[in-house]
A and B are shown apart, each in its own frame.
Chain A
């Protein structure tokens, strides 16, 4: 096979119009495409013998995790290290937050130590937006309450684009606790922006009320029946039931949830081309039957690999903003 160079024009510069990544609601299709394309190039770095490039040498990034996280945090840390950035980690427990310091004071103190970029996870929706008003650093949202989790949606989009030529026109079902899910919200924005048809499926109490507003774009459908959601779907995205986040009375039991909304082996056999995704961590036997988690059409681990590449791309594309001054 003869290598072909990229079609892109020489010295074409990145087209991100935003200084921060707070959510996907205001990112347009070319911006999302640019992030995905850049991520594909960074993903190749992860397969090399030396899995590191000097791109962000001298840039300092702080990971502010006010909420517990394993996957996202490790993924961000790894992508920062792969880009040769200097990183500082902060978690709410064992820090001055437990001594009563406010978010603004914490952030300003950290910035006084000359930080270029801040990756923040917080239980309050809008905390990253608030930070942009307190500090000059570039802010990347790693999940804020039930609002948005943009890098998760981007890695989902990258995983989907690995499997399909185009995201536009695909039928994608998001199943589960939509109400408490920032992953769902970011994915809905991203998928609709790229032209996919999205079906939201879950128990009525777990569907948010503001969905009517979003569905004005026309390609969003809502159903309470899993069979209806899976019919004709190219991809089923199961969401984690967040035991720790919700009140008790939204559905009767995890067993009953699994019976009604859990994806089971019979579904995989019935829908021969269905791809299953899950943002993790999976509650086996709740959102997905154990055999479905390990199924060849489950791409859950591909999502994790793509997470590092997507976060490298986001860090790279946003990092130039420091130099503007």
Chain B
């Protein structure tokens, strides 16, 4: 959480998150008919920052349950954002590392929260500059509504209608001091976009 946050509700605890990830891993395996040969035609792309950890967990579940190793890349869309002139300070540019050729692959882009759709838009532009995937699908833990672009996620953990002054915080133990999903009141929400 952040200092200014006022918690309104807890949407998921650690076990809920685990169940959701398990279910979405099953969906991915089913939709893409993953088997041992799909290593060359499929890939997970985690969006910085928490999307990366979520993607790693999905990769681990698919490996443990199905015995299938799927490649995983990291994407940072900061350079492609469109809120450039609305900020006082630039966001930190993080690492992009995709060590496989995305041309002709079916990709699942993974992020924690879907809100305005602008981050995904930037992510799609970033991916397009890296190659020409066969298809790109989108997975989020929480879809909080309030879209500003015609974008929808194919794999959704939970749909939570929210108000503009609210924020959804997905927290993962890999980088946060707690795990789960919270709905918070964030007085200066106009500064952030998800």
Contact = CB atoms under 8 A, between A and B. Distances in A.
Contacts of B93: 38, 41-42, 313, 316
Contact of A58 (B72, B85, B92, B192): B85
Interface string B41-76: 000001011101100100000000000000011101
Contacts of A34: 92
A50 interface: yes
A10 B89 CA distance: 14
- Could you say which of A7, A53, A316 has the most chain B C-beta atoms within 10 Å of its C-beta? A53
B29 interface: no
Interface in B171-194: 175, 192
A2 B56 contact: yes
B49 A13 contact: no
B96 interface: yes
B90 A5 contact: no
Interface string B90-120: 1111111101000000000000000000000
Contacts of B131: 49
B81 to A, nearest CB: 8
A252 interface: no
Contacts of A133: none
A323 B86 contact: yes
B73 to A, nearest CB: 7
A296 interface: no
Interface string A36-58: 01100110110011101111111
A16 B79 CA distance: 17
- Could you say which of A10, A13, A50, A56 has the most chain B C-beta atoms within 10 Å of its C-beta? A10
A53 B80 contact: yes
A324 interface: yes
B79 A54 contact: yes
Contacts of A48: 129-130
A5 B94 contact: yes
Contact of B129 (A9, A50, A317): A50
A50 B127 CA distance: 11
B52 A322 contact: no
B76 A55 contact: no
A53 B96 CA distance: 13
Contact of A41 (B85, B95, B99, B129): B95
A324 B97 contact: no
A323 B84 CA distance: 8
A196 B26 CA distance: 53
B48 A6 contact: yes
A10 B90 contact: no
B129 A323 contact: no
Interface of B: 46, 48-50, 52-53, 56, 72-74, 76, 78-81, 84-97, 99, 125, 129-131, 175, 192
Given A5-B48, A13-B91, 14 more contacts: A3-B73, A3-B99, A5-B46, A13-B90, A13-B92, A37-B92, A41-B76, A41-B93, A48-B130, A53-B80, A55-B80, A56-B84, A323-B84, A323-B87
